[in-house]
């Protein structure tokens, strides 16, 4: 990976605000200039619609949009570009599966399995699907004994002939631990080869290499904005044979071949799932983001983040000892740059507010993972997350600001 | 400017009326699930005035301090006057400015009081 100072130069936000300590990349990442340029270039030079015009500009827009799809295909090592569907974000991708496939195949008495570590976007769609279709909703726990990782056997034990779908996260946005997805997939397939496996890769795509063929899942979803790309663009990848069995999720332009008074013939996959004018600039920006991450090299990104998070955890322990309670593993080799914790009895909102006054941006709350917080006996937590542009100085500023929190609240509560 | 002024920290560390009154005739629970804050308010009324008031709760400094200050203010006050209290009263009392996210913390105690006073009317 190139040196950190030149990476920081790629992100114009640091020249606007050199003192910015941004520790909330898990919520959304900052954007490099090359992504901003790709968006601007589309809007300034060839802002035509796709798959429609016969004129040059529209051909160019279509070409760029489709080359973004191609780039995503390579990025996740998919076999076919038509397996790549552009959506708004991971949430939309999950809803698409739940509506276009789930409501078709899940019947009364069937089972849907998910885990306690899910973001609400990979929890609520399945909970509601189970509720509507009369299915049983099973939730797998994570345990400190296994570094809070999902255990293949724990999952396969609950899989039965009735299990239609399993939805799980690659990396929890709170725990930060990388789940052994390939092993989990194998264990699920052994228990029931028919079960559809859906992977939330929102926290994986920015940090580690994705290989859909190696992972062996049926669907993967992720968002562009967490991986240096624009907001409003995300990806759903699905196996071609499954996508072809699915109903359209939305109806309208682009998803049709022929419309007459009494019937409509649908377009092919993936256009069938991209009704209406898509986020063209977003897809083009996502392509630029992927190029950027690949130039930095995802293996090296993963290593850099791991080292920085390890440094942060050690320094926080040194500075605060037992006053800090970490959520998730503190000593796992399979962890990305997510560091969630509580600080004495201080309310996370108060902590985050004072950190903000000190110029440090962290997240406070349940991070859209209420079931996980509840299972850990917490209402909320503080989360500092690290990405390619964060430095050890950021960690030091975090510690200095936490000392300020202590100073303000320091009285026996 | 920091919102953690001395008066707020004082009420947070030593909340006034931080216990439910014995035999409170009226009680209510309110919560803010987004941050996990919760307040249980209890009170008694005599001659249209608040005679005893107290709360227990969990929350951030702003929500606890505002409960402490508001209920301290409300003691012995006339119900119909208390029913007129609004968010600008709360901000005035706290003497700070709050972003929309944190405003919810400051208004939880008022929500409890407003709701309980509605019950009393019925």
Instruction: Using pLDDT thresholds of 50, 70 and 90, give the confidence band for residue A411.
Output: low
Instruction: Using pLDDT thresholds of 50, 70 and 90, give the confidence band for residue B117.
Output: very high
Instruction: Using pLDDT thresholds of 50, 70 and 90, give the confidence band for residue B99.
Output: confident
Can you tell me the mean pLDDT for B71-78? 96
- Residue B121 has what pLDDT? 61
- Residue A361 has what pLDDT? 98
Name the residue among A365, A323, A318 with its Cα closest to residue A340. Answer: A365
Residues of A with active-site annotation: 368
Contact B4 A411 (CB under 8 A): no
Q: List Cα–Cα distances, A269 to A98, A102, A237, B55, in angstroms.
A: 17, 18, 11, 59
C-alpha torsion angle, residues A230, A231, A233, A239 (rounded to 10): 100
pLDDT digits 0-9 by tens, A52-68: 888 999 999 999 999 99
Task: Determine the CATH number of domain B3-118.
Answer: 3.90.1010.10
Contact B60 A354 (CB under 8 A): no
Q: Which residues of A touch B2 (CB under 8 A)?
A: 354, 357, 408
pLDDT digits 0-9 by tens, A369-400: 999 999 999 989 999 999 999 999 999 999 99
Average predicted confidence (pLDDT) for chain A: 96
Does the structure show a pLDDT above 70 at B122?
A: no
Does the structure show a pLDDT above 70 at A351?
A: yes
Residue A297, SS3 per DSSP:
coil
Query: Is B113 an interface residue toward A (CB < 8 Å)?
Result: no
The DSSP result for A199-232, as a single string, is EE-TTTTTTS---HHHHT-SEEEEESGGGTS-TT
pLDDT digits 0-9 by tens, A201-248: 999 999 999 999 999 999 999 999 999 999 999 999 999 999 999 999
Query: Is B2 an interface residue toward A (CB < 8 Å)?
Result: yes
Contact B2 A357 (CB under 8 A): yes
Is residue A302 classed exposed, middle or buried when 0-12, 13-18 and 19+ CB atoms within 10 A define those classes?
Answer: buried
Can you tell me the mean pLDDT for A86-109? 98
Q: Which backbone phi and psi does A164 adopt, to 5 degrees?
A: -90, -35
| Domain assignments of chain B as residue spans, ordered by start | 3-118
**Chain A neighbours among B 43-82 (CB < 8 Å)?**
58-62
Can you tell me the mean pLDDT for A144-150? 93
pTM for the model: 0.93
- The C-alpha atoms of residue B50 and residue A384 are separated, in whole angstroms, by 45
Does the structure show a pLDDT above 60 at A413?
A: no
Say yes or no: ipTM exceeds 0.95: no
pLDDT digits 0-9 by tens, A152-194: 999 999 999 999 999 999 999 999 999 999 999 999 999 999 9
Give the gap in angstroms from C-alpha A381 to the nearest C-alpha of chain B.
Answer: 10
Contact A365 B60 (CB under 8 A): no
Q: Which residues of A touch B59 (CB under 8 A)?
A: 347
- The C-alpha atoms of residue A66 and residue B68 are separated, in whole angstroms, by 60
Walk me through the domains of chain A, giving residue ranges and CATH numbers. Answer: 4-23+297-411 (3.90.1150.10), 36-294 (3.40.640.10)
> A301: which residues sit within 8 A by CB, 6+ positions away?
A1, A206, A207, A208, A293, A388
Does the structure show a pLDDT above 70 at A412?
A: no
By percentage, how much of chain B surpasses pLDDT 90?
79
Does the structure show a pLDDT above 60 at A77?
A: yes
């Amino acid at each position: 990976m190139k040196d950190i100072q030149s990476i920081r130069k790629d992100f114009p936000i640091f020249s606007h605000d050199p003192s910015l300590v941004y520790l909330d990349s898990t919520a959304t990442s900052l954007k490099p200039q090359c992504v901003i340029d790709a968006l601007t270039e589309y809007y300034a030079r060839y802002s035509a619609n796709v798959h429609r015009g016969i004129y040059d500009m529209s051909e160019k827009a279509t070409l760029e949009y489709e080359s973004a799809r191609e780039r995503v295909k390579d990025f996740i090592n998919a076999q076919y570009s038509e397996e790549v569907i552009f959506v708004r974000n991971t949430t939309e991708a999950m809803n698409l599966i739940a509506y276009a496939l789930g409501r078709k195949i899940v019947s009364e008495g069937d089972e849907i399995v998910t885990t306690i570590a899910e973001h609400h976007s990979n929890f609520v769609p399945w909970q509601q699907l189970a509720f509507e279709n009369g299915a049983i909703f099973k939730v797998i726990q994570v345990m400190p004994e296994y570094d809070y990782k999902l255990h293949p056997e724990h999952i396969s034990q609950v899989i039965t002939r009735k299990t239609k779908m399993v939805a799980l996260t690659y990396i929890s946005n709170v725990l930060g631990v990388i789940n052994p997805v390939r092993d989990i997939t194998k264990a699920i397939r052994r228990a029931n080869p028919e079960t559809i496996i859906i992977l939330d890769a929102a926290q994986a795509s920015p940090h580690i290499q994705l290989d859909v063929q190696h992972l062996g899942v049926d669907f993967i979803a992720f968002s562009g904005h967490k991986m240096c790309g624009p907001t409003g663009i995300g990806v759903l990848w699905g196996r071609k044979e499954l996508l072809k069995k699915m109903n359209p999720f939305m109806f309208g332009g682009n998803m049709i071949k022929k419309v007459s008074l009494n019937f409509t013939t649908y377009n092919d996959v993936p256009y069938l799932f991209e009704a209406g004018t898509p986020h063209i600039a977003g897809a083009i920006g996502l392509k630029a983001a992927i190029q950027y991450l690949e130039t930095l090299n995802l293996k090296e990104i993963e290593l850099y983040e791991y080292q920085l998070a390890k440094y942060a955890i050690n320094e926080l322990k040194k500075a605060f000892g037992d006053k800090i309670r970490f959520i998730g593993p503190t000593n796992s080799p399979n962890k990305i740059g997510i560091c969630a914790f509580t600080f004495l009895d201080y309310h996370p909102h108060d902590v985050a507010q004072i950190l903000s006054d000190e110029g440090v941006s962290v997240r406070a709350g349940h991070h859209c993972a209420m079931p996980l917080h509840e299972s850990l006996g917490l209402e909320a937590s503080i989360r500092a997350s690290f990405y390619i542009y964060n430095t050890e100085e950021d960690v030091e500023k975090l510690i200095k600001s936490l000392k300020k929190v202590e100073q303000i609240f320091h009285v026996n509560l | 400017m920091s919102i953690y002024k001395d008066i707020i920290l004082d009420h947070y560390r030593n909340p006034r009326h931080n216990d439910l009154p014995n035999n409170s005739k009226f009680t209510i629970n309110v919560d803010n699930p987004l941050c996990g804050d919760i307040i249980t308010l209890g009170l008694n009324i005599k001659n249209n005035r608040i005679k005893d008031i107290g709360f227990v709760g969990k929350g951030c400094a702003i929500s606890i301090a505002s409960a402490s200050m508001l209920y301290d203010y409300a003691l012995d006050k006339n119900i119909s006057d208390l029913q007129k209290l609004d968010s600008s009263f709360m901000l005035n009392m706290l003497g700070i400015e709050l972003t929309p996210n944190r405003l919810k913390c400051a208004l939880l105690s008022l929500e409890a009081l407003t709701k309980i006073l509605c019950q009393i009317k019925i």
